[in-house]
Amino acid sequence: MITFPSEFISRLKKAKSVTVLTGAGVSKESGIPTFRDAQSGLWAKYNPEELASPDAFRRNPRLVWDFYKDRRTAAEKAIPNPGHFSLAKMEKLFETFSLITQNVDGLHASAGSSSVIELHGNLHRIKCSGRCGMVGHWVDDGLAAPRCQKCGAFLRVDVVWFGESLPEAELEKAMLASQNCDVFFSIGTSGVVQPAASLGLMARDRGAVFVEINYEPSAISRLADYKIYGQSGTILPQLLQALL
Ligand code: APR
């Protein structure tokens, strides 16, 4: 059983507005490797940065399509874990609750979280790599990387690749939620990728309490007022209990 600092719990209970940023660590207990876990199987010889980039897609659309097809298949088989479900329940305990995620697996929504701010896109959505702006659900005709029916360009997964900018509207919402909260949680993220990694600092600069829940210290631990180390699937249900 985890004993949370009593001052932390009482501050959290008084909070009107809570913002949460999650990373791949929250989905680890659902069987989805974190981004910086070594890739396994067919993808072991690749560094994700070599696959999740516009250049990689230009060089070899089929390889990148297959990489994401495998990740999507894994995400489809994954089920939300107690950490996801606890966050979905937690949103009902506060006047304002914003959930920002770097994850693209869709598990927060599957667990019942409403209006998830998906900073890095969603594996289950595809879009045209050309200019026609088509966005849709995953299709796979089994052929080489499928092409857009509207303009003939290759289809691609609707996630943010290295070197690409984040969806403006999502980033705007994430920044607003981070600048207007009483408590900011950073959960299951190494805190190395910008601009997500700066959201906690934005919150702290506006007087929010900064809480880190992670398996191990991260690049942003030094900013946290409270650091709770361990598995989020274990910690979050107990935190929820402590709030009820
Ligand atoms: N519970 C809590 N934390 C965990 C767990 C767990 N069960 N398992 C792993 N972690 C922690 C790891 O210790 C690590 O600090 O989760 C963090 C995952 O870090 P990364 O693999 O770097 O993933 P993330 O922070 O989400 O990466 C951010 O980088 O590559 C880009 O777009 C990609 O969204 C990704 C972004």
- 14 plus 87 within the same structural domain: yes
| Integer Cα distance of 28 and 241 in angstroms | 22
Which one-letter amino acid corresponds to residue 216? E
Q: Is the CB of 186 under 6 A from ligand 1?
A: no
| Integer Cα distance of 133 and 142 in angstroms | 23
pLDDT at 140: 67
> Which domain does 183 fall in, by range?
1-32+80-120+166-244
pTM for the full predicted model: 0.95
The CATH number of residue 199's host domain is: 3.40.50.1220
Catalytic residue, candidates 84, 108, 120, 137: 120
3-state secondary structure of 137: strand
The answer, yes or no, to whether residue 125 has pLDDT greater than 80, is yes
For ligand 1, atom 14: residue with the closest CA: 190
Ligand 1 atom closest to residue 160's alpha carbon, by position in its atom list: 32
Q: Is the CB of 85 under 6 A from ligand 1?
A: no
pLDDT tens per residue, range 68-109 = 999 999 999 999 999 999 999 999 999 999 999 999 999 999
The answer, yes or no, to whether residue 241 has pLDDT greater than 80, is yes
Highest-confidence range of 49-63, 149-163, 172-186, by mean pLDDT? 172-186
- 43 plus 148 within the same structural domain: yes
| Integer Cα distance of 199 and 125 in angstroms | 25
Q: Is the CB of 22 under 6 A from ligand 1?
A: no
**Cβ–Cβ < 8 Å for 244, 238:** no
pLDDT at 162: 92
| Integer Cα distance of 184 and 197 in angstroms | 12
For ligand 1, atom 9: residue with the closest CA: 25
- 128 plus 207 within the same structural domain: no
- 51 plus 73 within the same structural domain: yes
Per-residue pLDDT, averaged over 205-231, amounts to 97
Active site residue 84: no
Q: Is the CB of 34 under 6 A from ligand 1?
A: yes
- 131 plus 221 within the same structural domain: no
- 70 plus 102 within the same structural domain: no
- 142 plus 234 within the same structural domain: no
Query: CA distances (Å), 92 to each of 84, 161, 179, in order?
Result: 14, 33, 20
- 140 plus 221 within the same structural domain: no
